[in-house]
Amino acid sequence: MLKRKDLVIGILALAIVAGAVLVWMAPWAGERAPDVTFVTLDGDEIKLAERRGKPTLVNFWATTCTTCIQEMPYLVELYEELAPHGFEIVGVAMEYDPPRQVEALVEARSLNYAIALDRDGSIARAFGQVRLTPTTFLVGPRGDIAHKRLGLLDMERLREQIIDMLPAEAQAQIRENKDTAEAS
C-alpha cells in the first residue's frame, strides 16, 4: 500500500513532467523567428527574413522518422492548396541525413515544397537546438513564431491558423472553394 508521502511525491513529479511537456508543446507566440537562409536541394536560397508578410512553415524532419514520413502527404496537400496564396513550406532535413538519402525520399514521396539540407546543424541551432523530429514552426507574416509543435501536426488546426494569416481576399476564396467542394 502506498504511503501518503509517496503518493504526494508521485503526483508532484507527474505535475512537473506535464508542465514541462506543456511548455515545450505550447505556441511561442511573439518570439522572433531566427534570421536564417535555407539552401534547397535545387541550390536555391530562401531567406526567412524576406518571407515577411507571408506565413511560412519550417518543418525539421529525418529520413528515418516514421512520424515525419507519415505527415508528408498532408504537407504536400496543404502546400498545393495554400501556396498560390503566398504560403511556403521549408522542410529541413537534419544534418545527420545523407543528402542522397534525402533526395531519394523527396523523389519517392513527390514532395512539392522546398527541401533544405542542414549540412552543419546551424539551422537547427538557430531554432533553439532542434534535436527531435518532426519539430515544426509556423512563422507568421510579421516574422514571429506563431506556433511550435514537436510530433505529428494537427493538420486541420494548422490549416485554419495559416488561412487566418493570409490576406482577407485569399481567406474568402479558400473558404468559398472548400464550401463548393463540400456541396458537390
Output the pLDDT for position 14: 62
Per the rule left: phi > 0, alpha: psi between -120 and 50, beta: everything else, 86 is left
Checking if the pLDDT of 15 tops 60, the result is: no
**Average pLDDT in the chain:** 88
CATH number listed for the domain at residues 29-183: 3.40.30.10
User: Residue 62 corresponds to which cell in the numbers above?
Assistant: 529525418
Mean pLDDT throughout 165-181? Answer: 85
Rounded to 5 degrees, φ, ψ at 50 are -80, -5
Q: What's the pLDDT tens digit per position in 32-76?
A: 999 999 999 999 999 999 999 999 999 999 999 999 999 999 999
Q: Where are the alpha helices (H) located in 95-149, listed in sequence order? A: 99-108, 122-126
Output the pLDDT for position 118: 96
Question: What contacts 104, CB < 8 A, 6 or more positions away?
Answer: none
Output the pLDDT for position 91: 98
d(CA 34, CA 67): 25
Q: What's the pLDDT tens digit per position in 69-89?
A: 999 999 999 999 999 999 999
Output the pLDDT for position 34: 96
Query: pLDDT grade, residue 114 (50/70/90)?
Result: very high
d(CA 90, CA 35): 14
Q: Which amino acid is at 5?
A: K
Please, are residues 158 and 138 in contact by the beta-carbon 8 Å criterion? yes
Checking if the pLDDT of 2 tops 80, the result is: no
The DSSP bridge pattern shows strands 37-39 and 45-47 to be antiparallel
Residue 91: burial class (beta carbons within 10 Å; 0-12, 13-18, 19+): buried
Checking if the pLDDT of 24 tops 70, the result is: no
Q: Where are the domains of the chain?
A: 29-183
Strand partners, 93: 61, 117
Output the pLDDT for position 177: 79
pTM as predicted:
0.82
Q: What's the pLDDT tens digit per position in 117-155?
A: 999 999 999 999 999 999 999 999 999 999 999 999 999
4 compared with 10, residue with greater pLDDT: 4
